[in-house]
Structures are given as C-alpha cells and as structure tokens.
C-alpha cells in the first residue's frame, strides 16, 4: 500500500498535496503518512498472528512522540536502547511492561530507570552488564527479567556498518558464553531468564538468515529447558527489509513463513523489534532547489536538505528515490535507469563537504530554483540521525492522516541552535 502517490503530476501524501505542506511549513520538511505506519505495523502483527507476537517497534528508527503514540494506540510495544528512548516511550503514554531494552552500554542509571518502569526484559549483551543488572536489582530488592543476546555468527549480507550478528561485531555473546551466563542467571535470585535475543543486522532483504536464527533459538531454548530454565521468549530483533528501490524487500509474510515453524515447535512467545520496515516508507523528506550549477562536466542540483538532515547516503552510500513534487514527467519505475528527458544529476546540499549529497548521477528531469524535490523512504533513520552541522536548524515534521495534517515537530530556530550554550566567564 503506497500512500505517497502522484496524481496528475502532483505528489500526494494520503489525501494532501505535498506542495501545499511545503508552502505552509517550509522546507526542508519531513512528511509522514499515519496510515502507512499503521498498515506496516499491522502487516507484521498479522503475518505472525498464529503465535500472538509482541511487536516492539524499534524507537531508534524514528522516535517522534506522535509516531510513538500512534503505534501505542494501535497496540504496538517498543524496543529501546537508551534511557532517553525509554523516557520518550513513557512520555508517549506506553505500557512500559511490554518494553524491551537492548544496547551494549547500559549505565547504572538506565538500568535503575528500566527496573523502575517494570520493563518486559533487558537484552543483555555481556557478562559485565549482567553483573551490573544483578547488583542494581538486588539494591532495589527486585528480580530483573533478562534475555541473553546471542551473537549467532550469521551473515545477514547487509552493509558492513549495520551488520550485527557476525563474530567480531560488538554485539551479544557467543554460544559458549551465552550458556555459561544462562547458568549464572539460574543461580542468581535477583535475575530471571526470560529468553533469548538475537538481532542480525539491518536491512536484511532475504529470509534465510532469519530461518537460521530461529532454528538456533529453538536449539538453545530446548537445551536451556533441559537444564531447568523456565525460559519462554524468543526475540529475533528487527532488520526486515524495505523497498528503497522497488520491490527488493520480502513482505512480512515471507519472514513469518521461515520463522513461525521454529517458534511453534519451541512453544515460545515471539518478540520482534522492527523499526525501518514500519516507518521507512511512511516518511519523505521534502526540499527546495536553491541553485543548479554545471561544473567539471557535471550537473549539480543544490537544494536545501543536506547530510545533516539525512545522513544515510553519506554514511552508507544508501539509495533513496528522488523525484520532483510537481514533475513534468511521470516517475520512472526504475530510478537507476537512464530516463528519456532526464540528465545525470548530483543532488547535493549546502554543507561544506563533498560527502554532502542525497544522490549522485541520478537521472532527473530539468530542475530550477524553487522546484520542490521529494526524497522517499526517509521515515526511518532520517530525523533520528540528523544534526545541526553547519548550524543548520532541523526542519519541521508533519503527520498526515487522510486529509488531516498535524505539525508534530516545530522547525528549529536560530535561537534553538544556541539555547544550551553558555558564554565562558572570560
Ligand atoms: N533491534 C536491535 C537490537 C537493533 O540494533 C536494531 C537496529 C533494530 C532492532 C531495528 O532494526 P530495523 O528493523 O530498523 O532494521 N542507521 C542505520 C540502521 C541502524 C540499525 C541499528 N539497529 C541505517 O540508516 O540504515
């Protein structure tokens, strides 16, 4: 279900003209479709329905309070990786007893905060962390629920910077340590082993790594139970693919097909931590062309969104579809192909780095100052990774549902940029 669509050479988000939003709220502007977010969340929930999964939306992918509240209202739970994310989830009114907490560097304060919120479980990444959780739980007279994060040494065949389940990554622990720590939990009155956690990487456009992980989970749970553990949760993390280019990502039902048999055999509750696949294609970044220039045999379109807004192309060489908001040509089916009437264009921002681009050599129709551009699939890992680099205020965010438009984050001002700074005394 696509909710960013062109009708008569005009881009719409749901029932609203994107150009009208840019006029009202300015650019750069983040536009989200509420119905797309809900649709993608429900697609995952439905695909795994047989085992009544707990879908913990990964807050790191887009942590805007209104998006959290929208998902919370639909029955979604949350995966957090910091005290700040837990604070956001609390603020959005979520039931924190369904929250899972991952991350390799949880501080004492964060552990205390999470225990105070009665979270569902900590995804524990090391022995030192397990010891810290036990110590803090004891001091609070509590039993901390934990899942141990296994590094299953599975190649998710994704970008080197976002692969997490391979030996040598900083995440989780190998099977020997996992089993030794499970025994340690059994002997500790302040810890309760709820289950096993894995997260393989992101985005993963094939289902085989999930099948291997689910199979591994079944083996581990069977072994743990034989040793007397009550463990009954399997958390397979997030990482489901996203259609950045076309139809490269399998639908949730395909992932479910390979995962479900193992979960049913294990007779476990299933937790999932999808982020990108829920909100990625529900968001777009709208920008305005400032100048065009030809130099060194290339055509550059300089527009007002930059690497401080969307860092993914600079950081991972990621591909995002880009097309004008009011195009004279219908959008292509293949954005990587040469298109008649188009010219290879570098879409760049105003930041003083050659790495500041949203696309390189992209075939685009002729553009001029004032034209609006849409960078698609920007709902996940867009705003959350944005910065004020070059003292650029962050853009506004709007949430569209049908014909209803809500401003969900104000555009930052110059005053916001200096708000937390103090002049030294001398
Ligand atoms: N669970 C854990 C433990 C994770 O580390 C992640 C993502 C997720 C769940 C959610 O994965 P998702 O369903 O969103 O793929 N900044 C990168 C992505 C980093 C992902 C980090 N971990 C990007 O822009 O591609």
Answer whether 266's CB lies under 8 Å from 226's CB: no
Compute the distance from residue 55 Cα to the ligand 1 centre, in Å: 14
C-alpha–C-alpha distance, residues 325 and 372, integer Å: 5
Count Cβ atoms below 10 Å from residue 333 Cβ, excluding itself: 7
Global pTM reads 0.97
Structure tokens at 229: 């553990």
Residue 169: pLDDT over 90: no
Average pLDDT (225-238) is: 93
List pLDDT tens digits, range 201-221.
999 999 999 999 999 999 999
Residue 164: pLDDT over 80: no
Mutate to test the pocket of ligand 1, among 106, 125, 162, 202 (most ligand atoms within 8 A of CB): 202
List pLDDT tens digits, range 369-384.
999 999 999 999 999 9
C-alpha–C-alpha distance, residues 422 and 172, integer Å: 40
Q: Return the exposure string of 200-225: e unless at least 16 CB atoms fall within 10 Å of the residue's CB, then b.
A: bbbbbbbbebbbbbbbbbbebbeebe
Compute the distance from residue 201 Cα to the ligand 1 centre, in Å: 7
- Of the pLDDT bands very low, low, confident and very high (cuts 50, 70, 90), residue 385 is very high
List pLDDT tens digits, range 269-279.
999 999 999 99
Residue 249: pLDDT over 80: yes
List pLDDT tens digits, range 333-353.
999 888 999 999 999 999 999
Residue nearest to atom 8 of ligand 1 (CA): 238
Q: Which atom of ligand 1 is nearest to the CA of 239?
A: 15
Q: Among candidates 74, 75, 71, which has minimal Cα distance to 88?
A: 71
Q: What percent of the chain has pLDDT over 90?
A: 92
Compute the distance from residue 422 Cα to the ligand 1 centre, in Å: 35
- How high is the pLDDT of residue 154? 82
Which residue, chain included where needed, has tokens 């930059």?
306
Domains annotated on the chain, with CATH? 4-32+280-418 (2.40.37.10), 63-274 (3.20.20.10)
Q: Which of the residue ranges 34-38, 166-170, 310-314 would you say has the lowest mean pLDDT?
A: 166-170
Average pLDDT (237-242) is: 97
Q: In sequence order, what are the beta bridge partners of 33? A: 400
Angle at 60 between CA 49 and CA 81, to 5 degrees: 90
Residue 230: pLDDT over 90: no
- Of the pLDDT bands very low, low, confident and very high (cuts 50, 70, 90), residue 171 is confident
Residue 165: pLDDT over 90: no
Question: CB within 6 Å of ligand 1 — which residues?
Answer: 58, 61, 79, 102, 162, 164, 199, 202-203, 237-240, 273-277, 312, 316, 380-381
What's the N-to-C CA distance of the chain in angstroms?
59
Q: Is 268 a catalytic residue?
A: no
- How high is the pLDDT of residue 397? 98
Mutate to test the pocket of ligand 1, among 162, 238, 385 (most ligand atoms within 8 A of CB): 238
Residue nearest to atom 24 of ligand 1 (CA): 381
Residue 168: pLDDT over 80: no
Q: What percent of the chain has pLDDT over 70?
A: 100
Average pLDDT (159-171) is: 77
Mutate to test the pocket of ligand 1, among 159, 234, 241, 275 (most ligand atoms within 8 A of CB): 275
Q: Which atom of ligand 1 is nearest to the CA of 242?
A: 15
Compute the distance from residue 103 Cα to the ligand 1 centre, in Å: 11
Q: Among candidates 208, 84, 85, 108, which has minimal Cα distance to 152?
A: 208
- Of the pLDDT bands very low, low, confident and very high (cuts 50, 70, 90), residue 158 is confident
- Of the pLDDT bands very low, low, confident and very high (cuts 50, 70, 90), residue 160 is confident
Residue nearest to atom 9 of ligand 1 (CA): 238
**C-alpha 118, offset from chain centre:** 24
């Amino acid at each position: 279900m696509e909710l960013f669509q062109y009708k008569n050479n005009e881009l719409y988000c749901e029932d609203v003209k994107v150009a009208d939003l840019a006029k009202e709220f300015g650019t750069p502007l983040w536009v989200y479709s509420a119905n797309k977010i809900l649709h993608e969340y429900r697609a995952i929930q439905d695909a795994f329905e047989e085992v009544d999964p707990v879908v913990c939306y990964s807050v790191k992918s887009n942590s805007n309070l209104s998006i959290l509240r929208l998902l919370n209202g639909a029955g979604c739970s949350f995966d957090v990786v910091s005290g700040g994310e837990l604070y956001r989830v609390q603020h959005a009114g979520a039931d924190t007893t369904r929250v899972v907490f991952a991350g390799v560097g949880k501080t004492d304060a964060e552990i205390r905060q999470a225990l105070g919120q009665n979270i569902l479980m900590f995804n524990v990444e090391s022995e030192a962390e397990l010891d810290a959780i036990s110590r803090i739980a004891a001091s609070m007279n509590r039993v901390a629920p934990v899942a141990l994060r296994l590094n299953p040494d599975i190649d998710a065949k994704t970008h080197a910077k976002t692969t997490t389940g391979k030996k040598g990554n900083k995440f989780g622990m190998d099977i020997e340590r996992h089993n030794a720590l499970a025994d340690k939990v059994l002997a500790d009155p302040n810890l309760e082993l709820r289950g096993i956690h894995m997260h393989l990487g992101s985005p993963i456009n094939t289902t085989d790594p999930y099948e291997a992980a689910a199979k591994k989970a079944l083996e581990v749970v069977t072994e743990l139970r034989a040793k007397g553990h009550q463990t009954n949760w399997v958390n397979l993390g997030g990482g489901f693919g996203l259609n950045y280019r076309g139809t490269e990502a399998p639908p949730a039902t395909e992932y479910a097909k390979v995962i479900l048999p193992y979960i049913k055999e294990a007779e476990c509750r299933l937790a999932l931590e999808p982020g990108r696949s829920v909100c990625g294609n529900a968001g777009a970044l709208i920008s305005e062309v400032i100048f065009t220039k030809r130099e060194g045999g290339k055509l550059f379109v300089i527009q007002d969104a930059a690497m401080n807004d969307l860092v993914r192309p600079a950081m991972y060489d990621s591909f995002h579809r880009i097309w004008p908001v009011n195009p004279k040509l219908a959008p292509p089916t293949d954005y990587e192909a040469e298109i008649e009437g188009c010219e290879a264009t570098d879409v760049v921002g105003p930041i003083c780095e050659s790495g500041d681009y949203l696309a390189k050599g992209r075939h685009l129709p002729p553009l001029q100052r004032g034209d609006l551009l849409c960078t698609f699939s920007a709902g996940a890992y867009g705003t959350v990774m944005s910065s004020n680099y070059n003292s650029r205020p962050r853009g506004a965010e709007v949430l569209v549902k049908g014909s209803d438009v809500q401003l969900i984050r104000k555009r930052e001002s110059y005053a916001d940029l200096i708000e937390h700074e103090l002049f030294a005394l001398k």
